[in-house]
Amino acid sequence: MIKVGIVGISGYSGEATLELLLKHPLVRVTYVSANNTKGKISEFWPQLAGKTDLVCDKFDIKKAVEQCNLIFLAVPHTVSMEITPKLLDAGVLVIDLSGDYRLNSATEYKMWYGADHMDSKNLGKAVYGLPELHREKIKKSKLIANPGCYPTAALLALAPFVSVYGESTELIIIDAKSGVSGAGRKATFAFNFCEVNENFKAYKVLNHQHAPEINLYLSKISRKLPKVHFVPHLLPVNRGILETIYIHLGQKVTLNIVYDLYKRFYKTEPFVRVLPPGQQPELKNVVGTNICDIGFAVSSDKNMVVITSAIDNLIKGAAGQAVQNMNIKCGFKETTGLE
Amino acid sequence: MIKVGIVGISGYSGEATLELLLKHPLVRVTYVSANNTKGKISEFWPQLAGKTDLVCDKFDIKKAVEQCNLIFLAVPHTVSMEITPKLLDAGVLVIDLSGDYRLNSATEYKMWYGADHMDSKNLGKAVYGLPELHREKIKKSKLIANPGCYPTAALLALAPFVSVYGESTELIIIDAKSGVSGAGRKATFAFNFCEVNENFKAYKVLNHQHAPEINLYLSKISRKLPKVHFVPHLLPVNRGILETIYIHLGQKVTLNIVYDLYKRFYKTEPFVRVLPPGQQPELKNVVGTNICDIGFAVSSDKNMVVITSAIDNLIKGAAGQAVQNMNIKCGFKETTGLE
Amino acid sequence: MIKVGIVGISGYSGEATLELLLKHPLVRVTYVSANNTKGKISEFWPQLAGKTDLVCDKFDIKKAVEQCNLIFLAVPHTVSMEITPKLLDAGVLVIDLSGDYRLNSATEYKMWYGADHMDSKNLGKAVYGLPELHREKIKKSKLIANPGCYPTAALLALAPFVSVYGESTELIIIDAKSGVSGAGRKATFAFNFCEVNENFKAYKVLNHQHAPEINLYLSKISRKLPKVHFVPHLLPVNRGILETIYIHLGQKVTLNIVYDLYKRFYKTEPFVRVLPPGQQPELKNVVGTNICDIGFAVSSDKNMVVITSAIDNLIKGAAGQAVQNMNIKCGFKETTGLE
Amino acid sequence: MIKVGIVGISGYSGEATLELLLKHPLVRVTYVSANNTKGKISEFWPQLAGKTDLVCDKFDIKKAVEQCNLIFLAVPHTVSMEITPKLLDAGVLVIDLSGDYRLNSATEYKMWYGADHMDSKNLGKAVYGLPELHREKIKKSKLIANPGCYPTAALLALAPFVSVYGESTELIIIDAKSGVSGAGRKATFAFNFCEVNENFKAYKVLNHQHAPEINLYLSKISRKLPKVHFVPHLLPVNRGILETIYIHLGQKVTLNIVYDLYKRFYKTEPFVRVLPPGQQPELKNVVGTNICDIGFAVSSDKNMVVITSAIDNLIKGAAGQAVQNMNIKCGFKETTGLE
């Protein structure tokens, strides 16, 4: 039984992490905090009434360190890099759900997040916590950068393909659609019900901070790869990401070859389902789970491959993957608390 | 061609009023203002791009008076009573969409809106602008208090009944359900998409400020009436109000008697549809229109009558009714610009 | 480890039951069937891919009896009463999710379900499976009639009150709102997305087959009770029921008295949460759980009590309650597989 | 005043056409029919109660010809080609909203619609009714093939670009998202509320019958163009199409050059809005209108252009465009009844 804490419990990712951990048989949640909220958890998350007596207060490094072996940071970017070094110095393991440690260069960070990186020391040491690609490194790291929601769906969909066809890949386009919880829990006019419901739009077209994250980890699989073109859209649903990924190839492939490649690549993975030809991922099949569904199509001239992937942005795209990382790091069975 | 202005163009009611007025053949919109927004209308309401060149600025009483014969106030309560006396003094007609002039007592106003009424002089002079009940008074008034959205649906559903059965009415319960635009356009956390979508709840149970408004105008029809019990709920739709109204009677009635009463009462009304026995109102039949649909059921023991009414909260419940009032006041055909 | 089967796996209730049972540590699902669907479960419920290898075929009494100790019937009414006697005769326990065994009179059944009851022998022996009221009887019965979704939310909300105030209760009105999955999984035009989305309406006004079910089990608590007036509405959400219940009393009560009564009544119940004064149930707090939330308000003249209750119609209103009944019947901890 | 009829009034396109025509000042609707529905229009389209007394019956060629100068066919494909030759022979103008006359080859038709074309005589004579491209031809034709919803949004978004850059266009990908009304009004399980709400998926990936329609009319603008890759998705909204179109170029362009090209191309068009750099189309700005909004982005290396377009699939994508075509054909002002 390890003792874990969650910093940033007032957001959707923090709450989702808490829900999973309360059901996890091998951990005890001993500490929760948030900056603008205090009191019993069930007062601001009424769905948790009767399920926990945890009380929330402002973050206090001393309490956090005393009470926890491992801490989940579900805070906005820039906040994480203030807290992380203190926790690591005190010997507390960190799983960071923010974007602060995902890009391994302070320059890139500045460019995409608009702030100076204050913890370059740990920036290089963080391990990118996508278990299907980095399981062994995760086991050894004290700081796990939990992947972004869009990159999770993109990298799982692209990794097998570029590992084989990277050299002949000429163009990658990611048309991504996300439910509203992906934007976080904000009192922002733009996310009011009437602005989002019965609506749909693209945003940050070719200019989203998750694009460099995708490029970085794809480039580790295949060096010659062209940079992806990434366009996110806002879907009028609470949860779920679906990405339709277009790959233009300098050679020809068939649907069965692609399908077989993915079946092999993910053969032993508990949280990736490779759909048979003819079947397409749907949000409703993955929402509420830690699963990523992946489907395929190939054009009649065989040089355009369409790969579609779907996840729950708050689970495989955030809290669930964070728990999966904890399981790996702590030597638990990887699926514990996630089925 | 009269010149009209809209104060409070950044809210949903203001925008809905503008959309109607831009299509109205007998008026010209000459003035728009809002407190926190300035610039071309199409910059913050992109759906109006190409439809108007109006420019918005902070409210300026001098400009408003110079440029308009009639002004729609689509501002929050308490703001209206600051502006209204100045407009009336300058000879400008006022149609007020806020709650400031609906209750005819400063004491009641204080009790329900939590603020002192600053314009008791005009409070008594305002006419409650429900055309189906007060058409003749509307013609003569210079200040029209446009009814609340819930009271519009409630009063149209109840007026015929209590005009005949008021004496034997023992209990009235209004179970009301409203779309989210009824809450106005706010950057409030409670109305974020993820809080409202796939959700439903009651709020201000037995304690909503529209209850005294309903009681006041019902009492003018039948003095002995019991006060209504009013419970509003938040529906996960953009627009529309449906109210299910339960009347317990000290005598017996039949479905056909009730139906005939309503058919007669609303025989010449262009915006009320009385549905035949067996048919129930639905939001989708009224959203986007100035129409109120009303349907009925009677219990097998004949002393419980269920009346259901549906309107578009932004049209018959706000902007459309305001335009209808303008039409009446200005001597236009009542349906002009509303069909 | 008991062996259980599900008949009617192609509907929403059947699928929800299977999802719960697949996670239940003390049962093994050994048999599933459906009339119009056959093949691997994951072919028509893709969300279950990788979670079960069960294969579905037409119902076969011989197989069912051989392979199961207990069977859940998630079939339409009238189908259940054909199968139930055969299962009981073969010694298989039955939990029936249809309406066939809820009313204890064949005459009432005929009146509300429009069909002759074919199994009057067992009709009188069935126990109504609302654990919070009938736990002891459930333990002893071989045929459990799982309550309807609306009656579950109504009876849990009303039972404590009428147990004390039944004699002075003058009127009960239930204004109920249900998500669309409550209608079952049908290729019916009326439930097409465009007919339901952004819409809201009442249906079967004062004429729904769940009204007699509510009346029957309330009358067992307090004999003098007036019959309820019941009006259901269709909510544009997938899951969830919220009922706003109005009780007119011949005496006066206070909010605190009512709250205390409920706190005591449900003190040891794991699946009922009594909300403190000022807090109202919301669908999002119960959807996905087996919990019923109950909240209160009392009118200023103290003789109108408003009780609001919320459940997930597919869990506490169907599959979850069925599993709870199985747990009771089989001597498992009541919350097993439901937390 | 011309006399018009609508065949197929029970579908969404038929109803939308009727709604527009009832408000059109220069036409009178004299005939409506549908195959599976009969009686007063307001009985199956209750939102039209009080707005029309039209009565619907099975299609009758004799009545249709006697009562109409022009007929809108809002019927499924294959039905249109049975009726069209008879109407044309009788001198009635036809605007066909089905897919029957959009592809100008019987072979292509067979390939994509799976049926033999029964009216090859008129297939070659039909004019493709996209006013912004074919206005002059529309004026002269007696049979107008109203464009598909997806092709309308695609062609308006692509025409200006390929007219200039067709030669250097190397790849076109259309990632399209449509509201559910685009699927027509069917009692199909796949479009039940619970299957679509809170869900999202791709369908007919690289295999939709609108792809050849797009290719055909693009090829008339620029002969050397590569065939488009087209992937449609089902959005959980009632109305609206948004297409995100990716063009890979063999040369470099800038955002301003693209923007200026479109501004010029659509300068005098009443129903196309070219959005300034930085602004993106949203469904809510076009739903309920006949407008197509178009926005742009260009990659930093200047050879990837992203064009986004939005329409209301039932208006500019069907009924509105049909009325626009009628206006052109009949010599009315093109915007009559559409503003």
pLDDT of residue D188: 82
Residue whose C-alpha is closest to residue D239's, from D6, D19, D5, D32: D19
pLDDT tens column, C77-92: 999 999 999 999 999 9
When CB atoms are compared, the residue of D181, D189, D194 closest to C194 is D181
> Residue A265: pLDDT band by 50, 70, 90 thresholds?
very high
Q: What is the mean pLDDT of residues A59-63?
A: 97
What is the rounded CA–CA span in Å between residue A265 and residue A275?
Answer: 13
Catalytic residues of A: 149
> Residue B184: pLDDT band by 50, 70, 90 thresholds?
confident
Residue whose C-alpha is closest to residue A248's, from A154, A308, A165: A165
As given in the structure block, the two tokens for residue D73 are 């066919």
Q: How many CB pairs under 8 A join B and D?
A: 29
What is the distance, to the nearest Å, from the Cα of residue C145 to the centroid of all Cα atoms in its chain? 9
pLDDT of residue A184: 84
Is D149 an active-site residue? yes
Asked if residue C187 has pLDDT above 90, the reply is: no
Residues of chain D in contact with residue C181, where contact means CB-CB under 8 angstroms, are 194
Q: Is D65 helix (H, G, I), strand (E, B) or coil?
A: helix
Q: Do B194 and A181 touch (CB under 8 A)?
A: yes
C205 in reach of chain B (CB within 8 A): yes
Residues of chain D in contact with residue A308, where contact means CB-CB under 8 angstroms, are 202, 205
Residues of chain A in contact with residue D207, where contact means CB-CB under 8 angstroms, are 297
Share of chain C above pLDDT 90, in %: 95
pLDDT tens column, B285-305: 999 999 999 999 999 999 999
A201 in reach of chain B (CB within 8 A): no
Which of D283, D284, D285 should be substituted to probe chain B, the one whose Cβ sees the most B Cβ atoms within 10 Å? D285
What is the rounded CA–CA span in Å between residue A249 and residue A228?
Answer: 14
Asked if residue A241 has pLDDT above 80, the reply is: yes
* pTM, to two decimals: 0.97
- The answer to whether A233 and A201 have CB atoms below 8 angstroms apart is yes
Residue of D nearest to C239 (CA): D194
Residues of chain C in contact with residue B299, where contact means CB-CB under 8 angstroms, are 206, 229
Share of chain A above pLDDT 70, in %: 100
pLDDT of residue D184: 83
Asked if residue A63 has pLDDT above 90, the reply is: yes
pLDDT of residue B236: 98
D49 in reach of chain B (CB within 8 A): yes
Q: Do A47 and C339 touch (CB under 8 A)?
A: no
B47 in reach of chain A (CB within 8 A): no
pLDDT tens column, A267-279: 999 999 999 999 9
Q: What distance in Å separates residue D285's CA from the closest CA in chain A?
A: 9
Mind listing the domains of chain B with CATH numbers? 2-125 (3.40.50.720), 150-313 (3.30.360.10)
Neighbors of chain C by Cβ distance (3+ pairs < 8 Å): A, B, D
pLDDT tens column, B188-247: 889 999 999 999 999 999 999 999 999 999 999 999 899 999 999 999 999 999 999 999
Q: Do B285 and D49 touch (CB under 8 A)?
A: yes
Is this complex's ipTM strictly greater than 0.90? yes
pLDDT tens column, D176-233: 999 999 988 877 889 999 999 999 999 999 999 999 999 999 999 999 899 999 999 9
Q: Do D199 and A283 touch (CB under 8 A)?
A: yes
Letter string b/e over residues A289-319, b meaning 16 or more CB atoms within 10 A of that residue's CB: bbbbbbbbbbbeeebbbbbbbbbbbbbbbbb
D339 in reach of chain B (CB within 8 A): yes
Residue whose C-alpha is closest to residue A153's, from A308, A275, A289, A338: A308
- The answer to whether B118 and B84 have CB atoms below 8 angstroms apart is no
Q: Is D263 helix (H, G, I), strand (E, B) or coil?
A: helix
Using a 10 angstrom Cβ sphere, with 0-12 exposed, 13-18 middle and 19 or more buried, the burial of residue A28 is middle
> Residue A141: pLDDT band by 50, 70, 90 thresholds?
very high
Catalytic residues of B: 149
pLDDT of residue B9: 96
C194 in reach of chain D (CB within 8 A): yes
pLDDT tens column, A77-130: 999 999 999 999 999 999 999 999 999 899 999 999 999 999 999 999 999 999
State chain C's mean pLDDT as an integer: 97
Alpha-helical regions (H) of chain B: 12-23, 41-44, 61-67, 80-89, 106-113, 120-123, 131-140, 149-165, 193-196, 210-219, 255-265, 320-330
Q: Do B193 and A193 touch (CB under 8 A)?
A: yes
pLDDT tens column, D39-86: 999 999 999 999 999 999 999 999 999 999 999 999 999 999 999 999
What is the rounded CA–CA span in Å between residue C216 and residue C108?
Answer: 10
What is the rounded CA–CA span in Å between residue A1 and residue C258?
Answer: 42
Asked if residue C168 has pLDDT above 90, the reply is: yes
A286 in reach of chain C (CB within 8 A): yes
> Residue C183: pLDDT band by 50, 70, 90 thresholds?
confident
Residues of chain A in contact with residue C339, where contact means CB-CB under 8 angstroms, are 23
SS3 of D188-217 = CHHHEHHHHCCCCEECCCCCCCHHHHHHHH
Residue of D nearest to B237 (CA): D237
As given in the structure block, the two tokens for residue B14 are 């203001």
Asked if residue A237 has pLDDT above 80, the reply is: yes
Which of D169, D195, D196, D199 should be substituted to probe chain A, the one whose Cβ sees the most A Cβ atoms within 10 Å? D199
Q: What distance in Å separates residue D200's CA from the closest CA in chain A?
A: 6
pLDDT of residue D187: 77
Residues of chain A in contact with residue C279, where contact means CB-CB under 8 angstroms, are 46
Share of chain A above pLDDT 90, in %: 95
Q: What is the mean pLDDT of residues C102-117?
A: 96
What is the rounded CA–CA span in Å between residue D16 and residue C234?
Answer: 25
D269 in reach of chain B (CB within 8 A): no
Q: What distance in Å separates residue C191's CA from the closest CA in chain D?
A: 6
Q: How many CB pairs under 8 A join A and D?
A: 130
Which of C44, C181, C192 should be substituted to probe chain D, the one whose Cβ sees the most D Cβ atoms within 10 Å? C192
Residues of chain C in contact with residue D234, where contact means CB-CB under 8 angstroms, are none
Distances (CA, A) of A253 to A276, C311, D312: 16, 50, 37
> Residue C186: pLDDT band by 50, 70, 90 thresholds?
confident
Q: How many CB atoms lie within 10 A of CB A260?
A: 12
D282 in reach of chain B (CB within 8 A): yes
Residues of chain B in contact with residue D284, where contact means CB-CB under 8 angstroms, are 47
* Complete edge-to-edge strand list for the sheet that includes strand D241-249: D201-202, D229-234, D169-178, D241-249, D304-311, D292-298, D272-274
What is the rounded CA–CA span in Å between residue C177 and residue C244?
Answer: 8
State chain D's mean pLDDT as an integer: 97
Sequence-ordered list of residues with C-beta below 8 angstroms from that of D249, at least 6 positions apart, any chain: D165, D168, D169, D170, D303, D304, D305
What is the rounded CA–CA span in Å between residue A124 and residue A141?
Answer: 11
pLDDT tens column, D264-280: 999 999 999 999 999 99
**Catalytically annotated residue among D56, D68, D149, D292:** D149
Q: What distance in Å separates residue A198's CA from the closest CA in chain B?
A: 8
- The answer to whether D273 and B49 have CB atoms below 8 angstroms apart is yes
